[in-house]
Amino acid sequence: MKQLTKAEEEIMQILWQLQKANVKQVIEQLPEPKPAYNTVSTIIRILESKGIVSHDKKGKGHVYFPVLKKQDYSNQSLNTLVENYFQGSFKSMVSFFVKKNDISLSELESVLKEINKTE
């Protein structure tokens, strides 16, 4: 699966949230300045050509919905980040974020508790 562009990811975040939407509904969720209708429509059609989005015909228009699950994309994106910037080491990534973001001991303990819950 390819990495999404920033614009594609922004549209996908909205579709994941709304689950189904037409172009107008997507535009309503975008921040100001709102992009043109044709711009959003083109991005959605690109996502559809990539197999990430599909549509149902509704009257004269289309209602779009995500085919790709957000969790699947998140996992793939995180794995790509770890591979490209941390030589495949999650330990290096966590260490980097702890050092750079000044994480407190209590926050780190909280993260460890969450990890232990999933095991």
Q: Is pLDDT at 2 greater than 80 in this prediction? A: no
42 falls in which pLDDT band (50, 70, 90)?
A: very high
Q: Which pLDDT does position 119 carry in this prediction? A: 63
Q: Residue 1: pLDDT band by 50, 70, 90 thresholds? A: low
Residue of 6, 54, 48, 53 whose CA lies nearest to 30 = 6
Question: What local confidence, expressed as pLDDT, does residue 72 receive?
Answer: 92
pLDDT category at 20 given cuts 50, 70, 90 is very high
Domains of the chain: 6-66 (1.10.10.10), 71-118 (no CATH)
Contact 30, 10 (CB under 8 A): yes
pTM above the 0.85 mark?
no
Place of tokens 């957000």: 70
Crossing angle between the packed helical segments 70-85 and 90-100, to the nearest 10 degrees: 90
- Percentage of the residues of the chain whose pLDDT score is greater than 90: 62
Angle at 88 between CA 9 and CA 106, to 5 degrees: 80
Average pLDDT, the chain: 91
Checking if the pLDDT of 43 tops 90, the result is yes
Q: How confident is the model at residue 40 (pLDDT cuts 50, 70, 90)?
A: very high
pLDDT on residue 54: 98
